[in-house]
Structure 1
Amino acid sequence: MLSPRRHPVLCVLLVCALAVLAARPSDSSAGDGVSGDTGGSGTGAGAQVARLYQDAAVATQQYERGRIQAETQRAEARRLEGLLDEERREIAVLHEDLGRIARAQYRDGGALPLAARLLLAGSPEELMRGQRVVSQADAAVNNAIAKSRRAEARLAADEAQAEAAWQALEERNAELAAMKASIARKLEEARTRLQGEADVSAAAGSCRGAVRLDQPETSFTTEWVAPVETYALSASFGSGGARWANRHTGQDFAVPIGTPVRAVGAGEVVKVSCGGAFGMEVVLEHRGGYYTQYAHLASIAVDQGERVETGQWIGQSGTTGNSTGPHLHFEVRVTRELGSGVDPVPWLAARGVRLG
């Protein structure tokens, strides 16, 4: 039967995709210089974190496909274990048959030599009948022994094959665990470096040029999307707290440092700022007179005056400015400046984007 220490076949097979770091060259583009340095590029910590996130997303999709395949493989493994059990029961029956035949031979004098059987036989016919019985018994014994040996050999081969497969799986699992730990370590190091660079810019109130990121291949069929792909909602619009002078003016998305931040809709970059309570931030203007703000970023991937499309990466989340931890602060306003905010959750819901 399956050992409890053995993991399901293939259940972690595709986590190894996390070890494949993309080596695609990043675009290198100078920003138009909001202030400070203007030579941003896609080769720094921000680009590295973005690539790691992309690789993790691809690996997640592959893992999900592998999980479905693992269910099939697990069923096959259980079927094979069932067959091994049947083989073991068959061998037990064969052994019982051998014992029964041997006992019958002993009772019927099958072990007597031919001379003794001639002396004990009452007639030639009786001798011939006895000889036929003995020959049939001998043939049955030989057949049972051969059948038993074949079954034992098949069982031994199947058990050896199954054990080798489980051992290979366990060795692969150990390798994958090490690879996963290595990727997690590299990602954490890149996040720390990215946030450190962002803190310097935010403290100086001076933005570097846009850090261009390799944009993912997207095919959105809607005009609007959520500002981040995977998230947990935290502080909501209008909530109170010691961190805000009055009420919370946006919706917070709890995400790790370096998470790609998306433009919720097509528009124009009307503000890029790197100081103050919002830290590094971007403000977009959309049709209909609405503005969206993306604050506490760790990097900015667009320049002021630039046109952006729905879902385009415009930066990466962080914890710059008045922030107690990594998250994206997202606002919807009727002006580009603070103080005209509307609740982002129903605003997005009215445009087909439901958060939760």
Structure 2
Amino acid sequence: MRQGPRRPRNAVIASALLCVLVALGGPPTLTPGAQAADDTDDPSAEVQRLYEQASAATQRYEEGRRAAAAQEAKAQRAELLLARERGEMAALHADLGRYARAQYRSGGGIPITLRMLLSDDPDALMHGQRAAWQADLALNNAVDKSRRAERELADGERRATAAWHALQADNVRLAELKQTIAAKLETARAKLQGEADQSVAAGRCRGAVRLDQPELRTTRAWVPPVDTYVLSAGFDSAGAHWAHRHTGQDFAVDIGTPVRAVGSGRVVSVSCGGAFGIHIVLRHPGGYYTQYAHLASAAVEQGEEVRTGQWIGQSGTTGNSTGPHLHFEVRLTPYLGSGIDPVPWFAERGVTL
């Protein structure tokens, strides 16, 4: 299976999703100017809202997970530094003990005045005593410095560990929030798909559901039809689930995933019913047409101008579909049977699927 440039944030069906194509019978077309559906309690708007919340929650959770991992590594480094400092402290204490014993063996327990009176060379004795005092002072300073460093490292270790535990607790709450949103999203998706199936069964679209469009930041003339995906059934592939060979490229995505126009153009048709379920056909400059099939909703109307990257609908599993996915075609005419392979077509336009 070929994969897209980014993995989906939500769980995506990994198995190949097949769409069944039948003869050329033309499904009914939405008449221009049809009344747009009210967003109040609309499953399309609810799915879009929850989809965005789920994406944001997933992003926050992943950021928190990475931050917790980094903080854990910081706490482990602090622990290693503290262990090393304690080892150096033990070595210094051992040196101090050896020095004290050496002083005692060399007469360190006798008062310096008496040792000078008994010495054959008082000047040499004083010189040696000054060196001993300096060594003793340096050793004591090193011990004091090491003790301060140990206290600072222990304090840093406590702070790092506390921050790690706090991040872990936040991630638990984020995971619970993520699960709650995911459960609501699944319920809303089921409702959206149910209404879409009713529209297809009736052979009449319910009208354009106007989605809140994202800020379009791309300057590219062409983009993939969905933001995150896994490629499944490819163009001209054989399969037992369609009468002839596959006429497009399938993108495995969840129900309700925003579907976008791959390039600027005009809406040729918005249709319901038949093998493709809810589907949209766009005409682009240069004479090419693109089709977006098995949708759960359409966000545009016939005759409407669209921009590159504009959300034109939501993915689903309407029509002859074995699971949620987007069936995408590039055609030389608006009609089935004139399709060409979308992968090299995109590649020629600088888009790698």
Query: Which residue does the alignment assign to 1:312?
Result: 310
Match of 1:171, SS state, is helix
Query: Which residue does the alignment assign to 1:202?
Result: 200
Query: Which residue does the alignment assign to 2:18?
Result: none
Query: Which residue does the alignment assign to 2:157?
Result: 159
Give 5+ residue unaligned stretches, structure 2: 1-8, 10-29
Q: Is the 8 A contact 1:35 1:208 kept in 2?
A: no
> Aligned partners of 2:328, 2:291: CA distance in 1, in Å?
6
Match of 1:181, SS state, is helix
**Cα-Cα RMSD:** 4.1
> Aligned partners of 2:185, 2:324: CA distance in 1, in Å?
15
1:318-333 equivalence runs, <5 A: 318-333=316-331
Query: Which residue does the alignment assign to 1:278?
Result: 276
**1:124 CA drift (Å):** 12
Correspondent of 1:264 among 255, 262, 265: 262
Match of 1:257, SS state, is coil
Correspondent of 2:227 among 204, 229, 232: 229
Q: Deviations over 1:44-99 (max 9, x none)?
A: 33223333444566677788988998998788667645543442232112221332
Q: Deviations over 1:227-285 (max 9, x none)?
A: 11222221122222222122212111111111111112222212111211111111112
> Aligned partners of 1:307, 1:138: CA distance in 2, in Å?
88
CA 1:328 to 1:139, structure 2 compared with 1: closer, same or farther past 3 Å? closer
Amino acid in structure 1 at the alignment position of 2:184: K
Match of 1:315, SS state, is strand
CA 1:171 to 1:98, structure 2 compared with 1: closer, same or farther past 3 Å? farther
Query: Which residue does the alignment assign to 2:248?
Result: 250
Query: Which residue does the alignment assign to 2:148?
Result: 150
> Aligned partners of 2:39, 2:259: CA distance in 1, in Å?
17
Moved more, 295-304 or 278-287: 278-287
Amino acid in structure 1 at the alignment position of 2:239: G
1:1-356 equivalence runs, <5 A: 38-41=36-39, 44-54=42-52, 80-81=78-79, 83-108=81-106, 122=118, 136=133, 146-147=144-145, 149-355=147-353
Moved more, 102-111 or 239-248: 102-111
Give 5+ residue unaligned stretches, structure 1: 1-14, 16-31
CA 1:60 to 1:125, structure 2 compared with 1: closer, same or farther past 3 Å? same
Moved more, 229-238 or 321-330: 229-238
CA 1:39 to 1:258, structure 2 compared with 1: closer, same or farther past 3 Å? closer
Q: Is the 8 A contact 1:331 1:342 kept in 2?
A: yes
> Percent identity at matched positions?
63
Count of residue pairs brought into register by the alignment: 323
**1:323 CA drift (Å):** 0.3
Q: Deviations over 1:162-207 (max 9, x none)?
A: 3323322322332232233233333323322222221222222221
CA 1:77 to 1:161, structure 2 compared with 1: closer, same or farther past 3 Å? closer
Query: Which residue does the alignment assign to 2:23?
Result: none
Amino acid in structure 2 at the alignment position of 1:172: D
Q: What's the TM-score, normalizing by structure 2?
A: 0.74
Match of 2:46, SS state, is helix
Moved more, 256-265 or 340-349: 340-349
